Chains A and B, each alone.
Chain A
Amino acid sequence: AQSVAQPEDQVNVAEGNPLTVKCTYSVSGNPYLFWYVQYPNRGLQFLLKYITGDNLVKGSYGFEAEFNKSQTSFHLKKPSALVSDSALYFCAVRDLYNFNKFYFGSGTKLNVKP
């Protein structure tokens, strides 16, 4: 079975500091990984994806994610957090054998304090 896990329910960071939101995956093969962000009372918005190629993926709003095959991780990062980055973040993986199916993590709430 394929899955992703987000080990932290909540991450707190001060504005201007770097942030990391963690995601680990369990996939038998090369994964297709995604990060989405959900602002209050809104649907999910796509941030970035890893399909193949460079391990460092750059996405929207200054976010990037590092794919690490040996650690089976795909952590979301940003060098300098903004208060407006406060939101719920979801990691997701696409089923390798059925592209129509997706598996999401439980979500991590990011709080950026001024």
Chain B
Amino acid sequence: EAQVTQNPRYLITVTGKKLTVTCSQNMNHEYMSWYRQDPGLGLRQIYYSMNVEVTDKGDVPEGYKVSRKEKRNFPLILESPSPNQTSLYFCASSPSGRRSTDTQYFGPGTRLTVL
């Protein structure tokens, strides 16, 4: 089944403790992206990747890191999480970032709470 998977689905952590949220897709997509969803703000793009070893900032990259060493994986790293990073996180992928017609496929989400 074609899908985007994220792990963990739920995470409660404490301020300053480094964490990684994994994202994997099995569709051989070039493009992957991370979003955070907050009430009243919709989804905001954190980082995106056009292909292996090619990443760039979205609108809200502060406090986050990403890497794209393999085509299928795009982990989101919080080196020193803070309470304002408590949010619902979504990973998405699409065949390419170069075509206007491409749509995104979203993972199930990761609910992160930073105490």
A contact residues vs B (CB 8 Å cutoff)? 6, 9, 32, 34, 36, 41-46, 49, 51, 90, 92, 94, 99-107
CB-based contact A94/B100 at 8 Å? yes
A19 CA to B107 CA, complexed, in Å: 27
Chain B interface: which size bin? Answer: 20 to 34
Contacts of A32 in B (CB 8 A): 100
B42 and A99 within 8 A (CB): no
CA distance A94 to B35 in the complex (A): 14
Known A99-B98, A100-B48; contact A43-B106, beta-carbon cutoff 8 A: yes
Cα(A102)–Cα(B42), bound, Å: 12
Residue of A whose beta carbon sits closest to that of B9:
A41
> Which chain A residues lie closer than 8 Å to B106 at the CB level?
36, 43-45
Bound form: Cα–Cα A41–B4 in Å: 15
Residue on A nearest B103 in the bound complex, by CB: A46
Residues of A within 8 A of B58 (CB): 101
Q: Which of B4, B40, B103 contacts A43 (CB 8 A)?
A: B4
Instruction: Assess the B56–A90 pair: CB atoms within 8 A.
Output: no
B46-67 contacts to A (CB < 8 Å)? 48, 50, 56, 58-59
Does B31 sit at the interface, judged by CB under 8 A?
yes
Selected from A41, A102, A107, the residue in CB contact (under 8 A) with B104 is A102
| A100 and B100 form a contact (CB under 8 A) | no
Nearest residue (CB) in A for B41 is A106
